[in-house]
Chain A
Amino acid sequence: MAVLNFVEAVRETLRQEMRRDREVWVVGEDVGRKGGVFGATLGLFDEFGGARVQDSPLTESAIVGVGIGAALYGTKPVCEIQFADFIFPAFNQIISEAAKMRYRSNSAWTVPMVIRAPFGGGVHGGLYHSQSVEQYFTNTAGLKVVVPSTPYDVKGLLAAAVRDPDPVLFFEHKGLYRAIKGEVPEEDYVIPIGKADVKRDGSDITVITYGKTVHFCLEAAAQLEKEGYSALVLDLRTLLPLDREAIVAAARKTGKVLIVHEAGKTHGIGSEVSAIIAEECLFDLDAPVQRLCGPDVPAMPYAGPMEKFFMLSPEKCLEAMRGLAKF
């Protein structure tokens, strides 16, 4: 069992998949010789060659569009969008083509494709290297949206995404790339897409979250335990489809729910989770469902103090969790 950091887990899983299946190939900006700006594809060019690890022009619509075409032709592309902030030129290809291809052709044509991108802020990235984009895609049936939070989850979910016969968006919080290390088994394993994970069990409050805030909430939960309250932390892992069963069970267990995500509050993932809880758990609720999210402002600021104000933190999570526990 190796201890890998988050981005190493991405790389090793890509390597494993490319070894396992000759149809799997990688395309994106600077993924080839450079090995990716975060090193996510480092060494793959040397091992698999330039036909299977392709440097694209600076055109996200083509990265995804060519990927769709290649997938229709029978290959399994893993398209990298260098920063999730740049995914929007490819939005039309994703929504109008990839998501609808199977439905439109009655399964005659399918798109077994992964689109992976680093997202999230707190790294001094400013407006265009810090965005969370998952909520733009979660309202489109035909897509899957996955956001792992640990190296172990990265490997299992990325393997599942590559093997999935339909398009999967795979978002990796760049702030976790080198900050989080964990044990990753060497053998091949798959985590099913659509299954959340209880990262910490508890009985006083339930915290539902994904991405980097999973770690903030775990840190806050450890501190909260010392104050006498136990928090259940549920890592959603997949945002589309949501693990409805896990959400309902976690909400029912304590009756007090806090949803945490870095992306803005209004119309964010938390809205859908709240609605599910309201629909199914009304008579088990002991407090209104609460959401701790990024502010509703056009972008993450570049100025340091402003960025700190925008970003969530273990302290902010702790304050919200404590308030809910005491309610």
Chain B
Amino acid sequence: MDIHMPQLGESVTEGTLGKWLVKPGETVKKYQPIAEVITDKVNAEIPAPADGVVSELAIAEGTTVKVGTLIAVMNGGAEAPAPAPSPASAAAKPAALASAAAATLVKPPAAAEAAGRFSPAVLKLSAEHGIDLTGLTGSGLGGRITRKDVEAYIASGAAAKPTEAAAAPAAPVAAPVPQPLAADQVIPVDAVRRRIAEKMRQSKHEAPHAWTMVQVDVTGLVKLREQMGEEFKRREGVSLSYVPFFIKAVVESLKEFPIINSQWAGDSIIMKKEINISVAVATETALAVPVIKNADRLSIAGLNHAVAELAAKARAGKLTLDDISGGTFTVNNTGYFGSFISAPIINHPQAAILSFEAITKTPVVLDNDAIAIRSMMNMCMSLDHRILDGLVCGRFLAAVKNRLQGSFSLY
């Protein structure tokens, strides 16, 4: 059993062994004085903590030692802790108390939580250096990636990205972005262009595009327009365009084949009740696709007005969100630019898009094997092959073709 220099006063830190009252080998009883200790505040006697035999006197008379220093060793008796508090024996209790105190501090995150949680320092460093945090192992509690982990990763040179402030933009997630040369002109991407880019990308990414084409003999339509154009303009105030005829043929055919007027919804296909025709309109700066709602309720004249109004709004930049949303099928007058064939991109989330190419006078072989010059036009259809197959599209196109090759009533 160890005997230590006790703390004899409130701010006493040392004690001097004044006089030993026992000798090694001497038997002592519990509480028997074994030494006189002198401090600057008080003199006192140290009692034996238990019955036993003094085996060793560790310091000499007159020596000054710090409170808690070993001064004597005894054998025998129970291993009772020294009555006077001393740092060594009290170590066990504070450890337990320390756990209690420290336990009130912030709990470490559970492993599942820690996986997705990054401290502000970690996020800042990884953004500055273009580091993909999923590639790092964390040394923190619960596998947490710590600031030191990221700093070490950077220091190891694994992150190649430099940190100059005035350099290229922050690390790209996808393929490297082309850099302009000095002579190149850099056009910043505005919101409209960005939206178009995103919609096109999304459409091609999500819908597997298939494509088919038919030829239409629109000689009758051309004649009709030539005959009625002037009077129509006089009565209606707008020119008679081909587009309303195209739309009319399309909406009647969509009623025949409603599956074409639908949307892919993952685990279902939604067949839309309303037939809202999106009409692609090219403006100087961008492409707009305003929508004619319930196009099946309008006459050719009505459709003509609707297209003209929406086109004017588009060119003036006055289309509203309502004007461009809700479309169920898109019609594209690519013939306006002289296009002969095109492969349009579906207007997501619709099922298909139909482009009407340039009308050209073409020698064709008629049913009776005679050759005639007819006004011919290609119709190109891109379809979402998740929803639609060649058969139904072929039938749909045949229906549109028949209508365009038939007769029309303007009103």
Is the CB of B364 closer than 8 A to any CB of chain A? no
The chain A residue sitting closest to B41, CB to CB, is: A178
Chain A residues contacting B105 (CB-CB under 8 Å) are 290-292, 320, 323-324
Known contacts A313-B94, A319-B101; decide if A125 and B10 are in contact (CB<8 Å): yes
Interface string of A292-320 (1 = CB under 8 A from B): 10000000000011001100110110111
* Selected contact of A327 from candidates B93, B124, B146, CB within 8 Å: B146
Is the CB of B22 closer than 8 A to any CB of chain A? no
The chain B residue sitting closest to A220, CB to CB, is: B98
B98 in contact with A319 (CB, 8 Å): yes
Known contacts A204-B148, A283-B124; decide if A323 and B102 are in contact (CB<8 Å): yes
List which B87-110 residues lie within 8 A (CB) of chain A: 90-91, 93-95, 97-99, 101-102, 105-106, 108
B99 in contact with A286 (CB, 8 Å): no
Is the CB of B209 closer than 8 A to any CB of chain A? no
Is the CB of A83 closer than 8 A to any CB of chain B? no
Is the CB of A179 closer than 8 A to any CB of chain B? yes
B119 in contact with A286 (CB, 8 Å): yes
Interface string of A167-182 (1 = CB under 8 A from B): 0000000110111000
Compute how far the CA of A38 lies from the CA of B105 in the bound complex, rounded to whole angstroms: 36
Is the CB of B269 closer than 8 A to any CB of chain A? no
List which B103-122 residues lie within 8 A (CB) of chain A: 105-106, 108, 119-122
A318 in contact with B98 (CB, 8 Å): yes
Name the residue in A178, A304, A315 with the highest tally of chain B Cβ atoms < 10 Å from its Cβ.
A315
The chain A residue sitting closest to B124, CB to CB, is: A283
The chain A residue sitting closest to B14, CB to CB, is: A178
Chain B residues contacting A327 (CB-CB under 8 Å) are 106, 108, 140-141, 144, 146
Chain A residues contacting B120 (CB-CB under 8 Å) are 282-285
Is the CB of A20 closer than 8 A to any CB of chain B? no
Compute how far the CA of A320 lies from the CA of B94 in the bound complex, rounded to whole angstroms: 13
Is the CB of A267 closer than 8 A to any CB of chain B? no
Chain B residues contacting A319 (CB-CB under 8 Å) are 95, 98-99, 101-102
Is the CB of A326 closer than 8 A to any CB of chain B? yes
Interface string of B1-28 (1 = CB under 8 A from A): 0000000001111000000000000000
Is the CB of A57 closer than 8 A to any CB of chain B? no
* Selected contact of A292 from candidates B11, B101, B122, CB within 8 Å: B101
Compute how far the CA of A123 lies from the CA of B13 in the bound complex, rounded to whole angstroms: 12
Is the CB of B85 closer than 8 A to any CB of chain A? yes
* Selected contact of A316 from candidates B11, B94, B108, B146, CB within 8 Å: B94
Known contacts A178-B13, A288-B106, A315-B94; decide if A283 and B141 are in contact (CB<8 Å): no
The chain A residue sitting closest to B142, CB to CB, is: A327
Interface string of A55-85 (1 = CB under 8 A from B): 0000000000000000000000000000000
The chain B residue sitting closest to A288, CB to CB, is: B106
Interface size class of A (residues with CB under 8 A): 35 or more
Is the CB of A124 closer than 8 A to any CB of chain B? yes
The chain A residue sitting closest to B67, CB to CB, is: A179
* Selected contact of A326 from candidates B93, B98, B140, CB within 8 Å: B140
Known contacts A178-B11, A178-B12, A178-B13; decide if A284 and B97 are in contact (CB<8 Å): no
Is the CB of B147 closer than 8 A to any CB of chain A? yes
Is the CB of A28 closer than 8 A to any CB of chain B? no
A179 in contact with B144 (CB, 8 Å): no
A255 in contact with B101 (CB, 8 Å): no
The chain A residue sitting closest to B91, CB to CB, is: A315
Interface size class of B (residues with CB under 8 A): 20 to 34
The chain B residue sitting closest to A314, CB to CB, is: B94
Chain A residues contacting B101 (CB-CB under 8 Å) are 292, 312, 316, 319-320
* Selected contact of B13 from candidates A179, A285, A290, A323, CB within 8 Å: A179
B119 in contact with A255 (CB, 8 Å): yes
Is the CB of A276 closer than 8 A to any CB of chain B? no
The chain A residue sitting closest to B12, CB to CB, is: A178
Compute how far the CA of A304 lies from the CA of B93 in the bound complex, rounded to whole angstroms: 12
Chain A proximity of B113: nearest CB distance (Å)? 13
Compute how far the CA of A286 lies from the CA of B114 in the bound complex, rounded to whole angstroms: 13
List which B133-159 residues lie within 8 A (CB) of chain A: 140-141, 144, 146-148
* Selected contact of A286 from candidates B11, B13, B97, B146, CB within 8 Å: B146
Chain A residues contacting B12 (CB-CB under 8 Å) are 178
* Selected contact of A283 from candidates B11, B121, B146, CB within 8 Å: B121
Is the CB of A248 closer than 8 A to any CB of chain B? no
Chain B residues contacting A290 (CB-CB under 8 Å) are 105-106
* Selected contact of B90 from candidates A125, A255, A286, A308, CB within 8 Å: A308
B121 in contact with A304 (CB, 8 Å): no
A316 in contact with B124 (CB, 8 Å): no
List which B171-202 residues lie within 8 A (CB) of chain A: none
* Selected contact of A287 from candidates B11, B102, B119, B123, CB within 8 Å: B119
B147 in contact with A174 (CB, 8 Å): no
A313 in contact with B98 (CB, 8 Å): yes
A315 in contact with B140 (CB, 8 Å): no
B121 in contact with A286 (CB, 8 Å): yes
Chain A proximity of B147: nearest CB distance (Å)? 4
A320 in contact with B102 (CB, 8 Å): yes
A-B contact pairs, 7 of them (CB 8 A): A125-B10, A178-B12, A179-B13, A282-B120, A283-B121, A290-B105, A308-B97
Shortest beta-carbon contacts, A-B, top 4: A286-B147, A319-B102, A316-B98, A319-B98
Residues on A facing B (Cβ under 8 Å): 38, 123-125, 174-175, 177-179, 204, 255, 282-288, 290-292, 304-305, 308-309, 312-313, 315-316, 318-320, 323-324, 326-327
Residues on B facing A (Cβ under 8 Å): 10-13, 85, 90-91, 93-95, 97-99, 101-102, 105-106, 108, 119-124, 140-141, 144, 146-148
Beyond the given A287-B119, A313-B94, please list 16 additional residue pairs across the A-B interface where CB-CB is below 8 A: A123-B10, A125-B10, A178-B12, A283-B120, A286-B148, A291-B105, A292-B102, A313-B97, A316-B94, A316-B101, A319-B95, A320-B101, A323-B108, A324-B105, A327-B141, A327-B146
